[in-house]
Amino acid sequence: MLQVQFIRQHKELVLERLALKNFRELGVVDEVLALDDRRKKLTQEYDDTQSRVKSSSKEIGKLMSQGSQQEAEALKAEVAALKERLAPINDELNATEKLLLETVVKLPNLPAAMVPAGKTPEDNEVVREGGAKPALHGAAVPHWDLVKKYNLIDFELGNKITGSGFPVYTNKGARLQRALQNYFLDFNTAAGYIEHQPPLLVNEDSAFGTGQLPDKEGQMYYASEDKYFLIPTSEVPLTNIYRDEILKDSDLPVKLTGYTPCFRREAGSYGKDVRGLNRLHQFDKVEIVQLVHPEKSFETLDNMVEHVEKLIQSLGLHYRILRLCGGDMGFASAITYDFEVYSAAQQKWLEVSSVSNFESYQTNRMKIRYKDANGKTQLLHSLNGSSLAFPRILACLLENNQYEDGIHLPEVLHSYAGFDKIQ
């Protein structure tokens, strides 16, 4: 979340950047500042009252020792009245602090200076494009037909067992999922990321810490009996490993990677854009997360973008990198790069990864800090990226590598899958 002190010191800049993010409830900024003023006033009133109680209590002792009984009794009555005021002041202070927190978390992160203006995906900037665009044979079909032909994925069976958006992977389809998991993790750990296998359910504090709550509450599955949320991405448990921690400079950068299934309720739309693997309620993903010194977060962002780009290049896919405009960015992100891979059979671009710098927005919520050279505690910056999400990568691998004699896998997957062709 945004820091109240920064909002107060840079109000006009905050309003300008929020407008770039297409945030329309700009009056929330004034609400935050008014509540902070009230908080400060109540804090001062509480401290002053408590100070008067302490000083008067000492004065009572002096008066008693001097034999001034009447004056001491009068001062005792005054102290009792002051003490009675402390409780309601403290109650109002706690209520104000709670309301201040509830209000400030309504504000999204501020977009970085290099984020382009715009409101829709059409306003995103294409940074670069790479890989050869595949030319398919005349009888080529989309992946939802391919998986039936080669018995790789059963969407109808998933619908029977659970519902739409929960496919069942079978035979070489299941083995290919496992191959992608192992290859992506090996690629990340070779770059210095430490592998973790985190829980698939998180508590409310964890979901709040990374910005899923209160912004995306309706998109997450909720286990009401235990008050746990199924994770929408492993970013949530991985980043929360360091919640309420103070790190040393020697601990930085923290580089984490993990594979998990992911669960999202947002896949409730219909039509060709969400057919097959294009959008699911449950899908697999390997994630990378970094916690870094604030001065190095944009250098780290570039490195993470390059890392994901090399991974996609190794799969031989035609891709492009987009810098998202202010209106198309996520709530908690300061800047996001999306990776899209071209689906030759569908003749459209499919998003397969997002790499984002959150600056101190998440770490302020989670109180992830470090001590600087002067021993002062400062907030770290957090970043994360998909490396990679499986469904659309799999869709493009199947579609773009289909030939009349079968589907030819990229060479990097041969040893992981145990086969080089699906036929």
Phi-psi region of 383 (alpha: psi -120 to 50; beta: other; left: phi over 0): beta
Strands 421-422 and 406-408: antiparallel
CATH tag, 121-422: 3.30.930.10
Beta-carbon count within 10 A of 152 CB:
23
pLDDT at 266 over 90: no
| Mean pLDDT of all residues in 149-153 | 98
Q: What is the CATH topology of the domain spanning 4-104?
A: Helix Hairpins (1.10.287)
Q: How confident is residue 132, by pLDDT bands cut at 50, 70 and 90?
A: very high
Q: What pLDDT score was predicted for residue 3? A: 97
Q: How confident is residue 32, by pLDDT bands cut at 50, 70 and 90?
A: very high
Separation between Cα atoms, residue 336 and residue 323, nearest integer Å: 6
Helix (H, G, I), strand (E, B) or coil at 269: coil
Sheet containing 377-379: which strands, arranged edge to edge? 246-247, 369-371, 377-379
Angle at which helix 69-104 crosses helix 27-65, to 10 degrees, equals 160
| Mean pLDDT of all residues in 51-68 | 81
What does each C-alpha distance from 290 to 189, 217, 239, 241, 423 come to in angstroms? 13, 24, 8, 12, 40
Beta-carbon count within 10 A of 296 CB:
14
Separation between Cα atoms, residue 409 and residue 394, nearest integer Å: 11
CA torsion sign, 56 to 60 to 65 to 70?
A: positive
Tens of pLDDT, residues 206-250:
999 999 998 788 899 999 999 999 999 999 999 999 999 999 988
Q: Which of 88, 89, 236, 265 is nearest to 162 (CA)?
A: 265
pLDDT at 140 over 70: yes
Domain ranges for the chain: 4-104, 121-422
pLDDT at 71 over 90: no
Q: What pLDDT score was predicted for residue 56? A: 86
Tens of pLDDT, residues 177-212:
999 999 999 999 999 999 999 999 999 999 999 999
Quick check: 334 and 359 in contact, CB under 8 A? yes
| Mean pLDDT of all residues in 381-395 | 98
pLDDT at 346 over 80: yes
pLDDT at 342 over 90: yes
Q: What pLDDT score was predicted for residue 416? A: 98
- pTM (two decimals): 0.93
Q: How confident is residue 273, by pLDDT bands cut at 50, 70 and 90?
A: low
Mean pLDDT, the chain, whole residue set: 95
Quick check: 297 and 362 in contact, CB under 8 A? no
pLDDT at 83 over 80: yes
Buried b (16+ CB within 10 A) or exposed e, 123-150: ebeeeeeebeebeeeeebebbbebbeeb
As given in the structure block, the two tokens for residue 69 are: 């009984």
Q: Calculate the CA 29 to chain-centre distance.
A: 23
- Rounded to the nearest 5 percent, the helix, strand and coil shares of the chain are 45, 20, 30
As given in the structure block, the two tokens for residue 277 are: 């693997």
Strands 228-230 and 335-343: unpaired
The reply to whether 121-422 shares the fold of 4-104 is no
Quick check: 248 and 370 in contact, CB under 8 A? yes
| Mean pLDDT of all residues in 81-92 | 93
Separation between Cα atoms, residue 56 and residue 369, nearest integer Å: 40
Separation between Cα atoms, residue 141 and residue 134, nearest integer Å: 13
| Mean pLDDT of all residues in 104-114 | 97
